[in-house]
């Protein structure tokens, strides 16, 4: 039993460390600023040209959230999506 408790602690430590590393990476990027609101960072992988405004409009039409969300361009093909509710972020992640 003590052994499994140790494994759980190791897993939590790994997750915590990963979380700290991700935050550290985000802070180093000059265009990505940590926010208290639920946030998703996503990238578009394509070799074709696309219209960023069309991407934003498409996401707004696909994601049926309870409150509004903001899509910010954070870099080339990199977007920061800020939600008002944690519930909305969880909904689109399913």
31-53 pLDDT, tens digit each: 566 678 898 888 888 888 888 89
Q: Are residues 40 and 19 in the same domain?
A: no
Q: Are residues 15 and 38 in the same domain?
A: no
Q: Are residues 89 and 57 in the same domain?
A: yes
* pLDDT tier, 25 (very low <50, low <70, confident <90, very high otherwise): very low
Higher pLDDT, 10 or 92: 92
Higher pLDDT, 93 or 34: 93
59-77 pLDDT, tens digit each: 999 999 999 999 998 888 8
Name 73's bridge partners: 79
Give the integer Cα–Cα distance in Å for 31 and 13: 28
The continuous run of DSSP H or E covering 59 comes out as helix 52-62
The pTM score is 0.60
**Domain range spanning residue 84?**
33-94
């Amino acid at each position: 039993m003590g052994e499994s408790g140790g494994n759980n602690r190791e897993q939590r430590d790994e997750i915590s460390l990963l979380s700290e590393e991700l935050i550290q990476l985000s802070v180093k990027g000059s265009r990505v600023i940590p926010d208290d609101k639920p946030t998703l960072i996503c990238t578009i992988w394509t070799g074709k040209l696309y219209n960023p405004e069309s991407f934003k409009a498409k996401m707004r039409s696909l994601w049926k959230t309870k409150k509004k969300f903001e899509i910010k361009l954070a870099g080339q093909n990199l977007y920061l999506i800020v939600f008002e509710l944690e519930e909305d972020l969880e909904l689109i992640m399913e």
